[in-house]
Amino acid sequence: MSIATERPNRRRPSGGARSNSPGRTPATPSGGPAVLGFCRRHWRPVSLVGIGVVWLGLWATLMGVDTLELGGADKTDFQLWLNSVRDAFDSARTNSFVFQHIVQPVTDGINGLVTFLQGIFSQASDGRPVPEIGWLGVVALLAWLALAFAGVRSMLLVGVCVLLFGFFGYWAQSIDTLIVTFFAVGICTVAGLPLGIVMARSRRVSAAVSPLLDLMQTLPSFAYLAPLALVFGIGPAAAIVTTIIYSLPPLVRITEHGIRGVSPATLEAVTSMGSTPWQALVKVQLPMARRTIVVGINQCTMAALSMATIAALINGPGLGTPVLQALQSLDVGSAFVSGLAIVLMAIMLDRTTTRASERSGIEARMQRGSGEGQTGTFGGRQMRRTTIIASAVVAAVAIYLSHIYLALSKFPASPDLGTPLAKAVSAATDWTVGTFSGFTEWLKDTVTALLVDPLQSVLAQSPWWAMALALLGIAFVLAGLRAATVTIVCEAVILGSGLWNESMKTLATTLVAAFVVIIVAVCLGVWMGRSKPADSVIRPVLDAFQTIPSFVYLVPALALFGPTRFTAIAAAFAYGVPIATKLVADGVRGVSPVAVEAAESLGTTSWQMIAKVQLPMARAAVVLAANQGLLYVLSMVVVGGLVGGGGLGYLVVAGFSQSQLFGKGLAAGIAITALGVMLDRITQHATARFGSTR
pLDDT digits (tens, 9 = 90+) for 391-445: 999 999 999 999 998 888 889 988 899 999 999 988 988 888 888 888 888 988 8
> Whole-angstrom Cα distance, residue 625 to residue 161?
33
Assigned domain for 88 exists? no
DSSP 596-638: HHHHHHTT--HHHIIIIIIHHHTHHHHHHHHHHHHHHHHHHHH
Q: Is the sign of the CA dihedral 660, 663, 666, 668 positive or negative?
A: negative
Q: Given 3-state DSSP classes, what are the helix, strand and coil percentages for the chain, each rounded to the nearest 5? A: 85, 0, 15
> Whole-angstrom Cα distance, residue 411 to residue 419?
16
10 Å Cβ neighbour count for 34?
11
pLDDT reported for residue 657? 74
Read off the pLDDT band of 297 (50, 70, 90). confident
Q: Residues 232, 663: contact at Cβ < 8 Å?
A: no
- At 162, the amino acid letter reads V
Cβ-based burial of 585 (10 A; exposed 0-12, middle 13-18, buried ≥19): buried
Q: Are 331 and 261 part of one and the same domain?
A: yes
Assigned domain for 28 exists? no
Assigned domain for 20 exists? no
Average pLDDT over residues 259-285: 79
Please list the alpha-helical segments (H only) found in 531-564.
532-547, 554-561
Packed helices 565-589 and 619-639: angle between N→C axes, nearest 10 degrees: 160
10 Å Cβ neighbour count for 210?
15
Packed helices 662-692 and 225-232: angle between N→C axes, nearest 10 degrees: 130
Average pLDDT over residues 588-600: 84
> Global pTM?
0.77
Phi, psi of 131 (to 5 degrees): -65, 165
> Whole-angstrom Cα distance, residue 225 to residue 657?
13
Query: Could you give the C-alpha distances from 599 to 146, 613, 618, 646, in angstroms and in order?
Result: 51, 8, 15, 49
Packed helices 77-95 and 662-692: angle between N→C axes, nearest 10 degrees: 110
pLDDT reported for residue 380? 64
Q: Residues 227, 666: contact at Cβ < 8 Å?
A: yes
Assigned domain for 231 exists? yes
Query: Could you give the C-alpha distances from 466 to 52, 53, 125, in angstroms and in order?
Result: 11, 12, 61
Higher pLDDT, 489 or 94: 489
Q: Are 271 and 340 part of one and the same domain?
A: yes
Q: Are 369 and 482 part of one and the same domain?
A: no
Please list the alpha-helical segments (H only) found in 219-317.
225-232, 236-260, 264-272, 277-280, 286-288, 290-310
10 Å Cβ neighbour count for 413?
8
Assigned domain for 345 exists? yes
Give per-residue pLDDT as tens, 30-43.
556 666 666 666 67
Assigned domain for 11 exists? no
Contacts of 547 (CB under 8 A, 6+ apart): 302, 343, 346, 347, 350
Read off the pLDDT band of 9 (50, 70, 90). very low
Q: Are 361 and 386 part of one and the same domain?
A: yes
- Of 400, 415, 430, the residue that ends a domain is 415
pLDDT reported for residue 95? 76
- Of 347, 382, 415, the residue that ends a domain is 415
Most confident of 88-92, 549-553, 601-605, 662-666: 662-666
Mean confidence (pLDDT) of the chain? 83
Q: Residues 663, 670: contact at Cβ < 8 Å?
A: no
pLDDT reported for residue 372? 43
Q: For position 509, which CATH number holds? A: 1.10.3720.10
Q: Are 488 and 405 part of one and the same domain?
A: no
Q: Measure the CA angle with vertex 654, ends 87 and 555; round to 5°.
A: 145
Phi, psi of 575 (to 5 degrees): -80, -35
If one counts the domains in the chain, the total is: 2
Read off the pLDDT band of 92 (50, 70, 90). confident
Read off the pLDDT band of 694 (50, 70, 90). very low
Query: Could you give the C-alpha distances from 372 to 47, 360, 365, 375, 383, in angstroms and in order?
Result: 69, 21, 14, 5, 18
Q: Are 377 and 430 part of one and the same domain?
A: no
Q: Residues 476, 48: contact at Cβ < 8 Å?
A: no
Q: What is the DSSP letter of 315?
A: T
> Whole-angstrom Cα distance, residue 40 to residue 419?
67
pLDDT reported for residue 39? 65
Phi, psi of 646 (to 5 degrees): 70, -165
pLDDT reported for residue 103? 84
Residue 14: pLDDT over 50:
no
Give, rounded to a whole angstrom, the gap between the first and last alpha carbons of the chain: 50
Residue 143: pLDDT over 90:
yes
DSSP 327-382: HHTT-HHHHHHHHHHHHHHHHHHHHHHHHHHHHHHHHHHHHTS-HHHHHHHHHHHH
> Whole-angstrom Cα distance, residue 30 to residue 50?
23
Q: Are 544 and 500 part of one and the same domain?
A: yes
Residue 21: pLDDT over 60:
no
Radius of gyration of the chain (CA): 30
- Of 387, 415, 443, the residue that ends a domain is 415
Q: Measure the CA angle with vertex 469, ends 466 and 474; round to 5°.
A: 125
| Cis upstream peptide for 415 (omega within 30°) | yes
Cβ-based burial of 290 (10 A; exposed 0-12, middle 13-18, buried ≥19): middle
> Whole-angstrom Cα distance, residue 236 to residue 108?
10
Q: Are 343 and 460 part of one and the same domain?
A: no
Q: Are 466 and 317 part of one and the same domain?
A: no
pLDDT reported for residue 499? 92
3-state secondary structure at position 275: coil
Q: Measure the CA angle with vertex 146, ends 141 and 150; round to 5°.
A: 160
> Whole-angstrom Cα distance, residue 635 to residue 475?
21
What are the b/e assignments for 527-540, b being 16+ CB within 10 Å? bbbbeeeebeebee
Read off the pLDDT band of 314 (50, 70, 90). confident
Q: Are 465 and 502 part of one and the same domain?
A: yes
Q: Are 372 and 437 part of one and the same domain?
A: no
pLDDT reported for residue 16? 44
Assigned domain for 37 exists? no
Query: Could you give the C-alpha distances from 660 to 83, 238, 664, in angstroms and in order?
Result: 8, 21, 8
Most confident of 141-145, 250-254, 286-290, 381-385: 141-145
Higher pLDDT, 94 or 665: 665
Q: Is the sign of the CA dihedral 297, 350, 332, 220 positive or negative?
A: negative
Domain range for 468 is 422-692
Q: Residues 196, 292: contact at Cβ < 8 Å?
A: no
Name the percent of the chain lying above pLDDT 90. Answer: 23
Assigned domain for 428 exists? yes
pLDDT reported for residue 1? 39
Query: Could you give the C-alpha distances from 17 to 7, 10, 25, 242, in angstroms and in order?
Result: 18, 14, 12, 78
Q: Are 305 and 285 part of one and the same domain?
A: yes
> Whole-angstrom Cα distance, residue 320 to residue 306?
9
Higher pLDDT, 3 or 256: 256
